[in-house]
Structure 1
């Protein structure tokens, strides 16, 4: 169970973060949330698909790392086998929190950094220091703060992006049939992708609005990323062979 607390340089002055990327360190997730500003970097390595929240009906774009729960095919010998790690994974075990602060007699909400103390990445013996000797932030923690801010802004942008996708009827359910070298056949279900027929038939005014919002380029990056599904199959086959 997660144990999120507000990070501070007094109680947590001796904390370190284990930078290993492995299942033991909690990185064995098979997809993670992403956002349009990240698509350019993410599409170079991962398929980008969409998931639908069963409770809210809200769509979200995700980067796919594998084909089933607890199977991240990019984990290899304690490292992440790609030159770009999505920000929603980079930030772990840190999260964005909110606290009320009073400025000139007015209470405002302020974003703060929280940390999951129960994460296996967190310890006091080995890893990257969070704070300097006299309490200042380490370069690593400054990097994490930037990652969290970018992630916060990016996830906010998702709302407008998804609204545009739904309005233009550009999302469709997709089922991927995957046959592996060991003869096993698998179906990947529950995801959505871009309906290219609807995209190609959009009226010019809607295409212009998507372009002006910066979403048209993002859509084509999602489409281009689908080639990496074949790369994931190759990784899965290599995993089966190694076992």
Structure 2
């Protein structure tokens, strides 16, 4: 249960953030929500796909593992990839909304928070310490991504680019993983777009995002490699 309060450099002057990654920090998940604002970095490491969101529309996800609570990118307390998704990078911080705009919140019950270990949240004179600035960059990625995602999915749907996709991963004769309920960019529909549709998507900044999602599926081979190494105990 989250214990989110407004971050205050007086009340929370001695807060510290513990680094690293692992199950104790909630990183052991086989998929994580991601945002259009980080697709360019994500598509180099993870397969990206969509799921239908509650209330309509879609949410993008990055695949991290095949079994429940499995993150194949975790090793020795670190996240072994070039880009850590923003939802993990944000740590114990989150954005709250009020009439005069967004505000920075902190979950005081988050396992990354400490009063005795880790990096300080605030500088001695009260300014933001480097650790807080890093987490705030991740929050900006999420905040901006939420706004962009809705428009992106609407545009991709309008051009007929979003389609169901069946992902079945066979590791050997007896081990197969099937992932139901997924959507992606239809490569056939993308290659058949008219010049006008391509121009519309490109002008809106969504064409490159569509190609990044398509390219990301090449990372499925990396997921299989990591899974086989784990099974072999390597």
Bin of the TM-score, shorter chain as denominator length: over 0.9
Aligned to 1:87: 86
Q: 2:196 aligned with 1:196, yes or no?
A: no
SS at match of 1:162: helix
1:130 touches 1:138 (CA, 8 Å); kept in 2? yes
2:90 touches 2:135 (CA, 8 Å); kept in 1? yes
Inter-partner Cα distance in structure 2 for 1:74 and 1:52 = 25
Q: 2:117 aligned with 1:126, yes or no?
A: yes
Inter-partner Cα distance in structure 2 for 1:77 and 1:143 = 22
- In the TM superposition, residue 182 of structure 1 has moved relative to its aligned partner by 8.0
- In the TM superposition, residue 181 of structure 1 has moved relative to its aligned partner by 4.6
2:37 touches 2:144 (CA, 8 Å); kept in 1? no
Aligned to 1:211: 202
Q: 2:220 aligned with 1:229, yes or no?
A: yes
SS at match of 1:158: helix
Inter-partner Cα distance in structure 2 for 1:116 and 1:238 = 36
Inter-partner Cα distance in structure 2 for 1:72 and 1:182 = 23
2:34 touches 2:60 (CA, 8 Å); kept in 1? yes
Any unmatched runs of 5+ in structure 2? none
Inter-partner Cα distance in structure 1 for 2:3 and 2:170 = 40
- In the TM superposition, residue 74 of structure 1 has moved relative to its aligned partner by 0.7
1:45 touches 1:84 (CA, 8 Å); kept in 2? yes
Inter-partner Cα distance in structure 2 for 1:183 and 1:231 = 20
Q: 2:49 aligned with 1:49, yes or no?
A: yes
- In the TM superposition, residue 23 of structure 1 has moved relative to its aligned partner by 0.8
Inter-partner Cα distance in structure 2 for 1:134 and 1:212 = 45
Q: Which 4+ stretches in 1 moved above 4 angstroms?
A: none
Deviations 1:97-117, CA, capped at 9 Å, x for gaps: 123xxxxxxxx4221111122
Any unmatched runs of 5+ in structure 1? 100-107
Q: How many residues align?
A: 234
Q: Which residue, out of 137, 149, 165, partners 1:174?
A: 165
Aligned to 2:5: 5
2:30 touches 2:70 (CA, 8 Å); kept in 1? yes
Taking structure 1 as the reference length, the TM-score comes to 0.90
1:181 touches 1:237 (CA, 8 Å); kept in 2? no
Aligned to 2:40: 40
Aligned to 1:61: 60
- In the TM superposition, residue 124 of structure 1 has moved relative to its aligned partner by 1.2
1:26 touches 1:119 (CA, 8 Å); kept in 2? no
RMSD, aligned CA? 1.7
2:37 touches 2:142 (CA, 8 Å); kept in 1? no
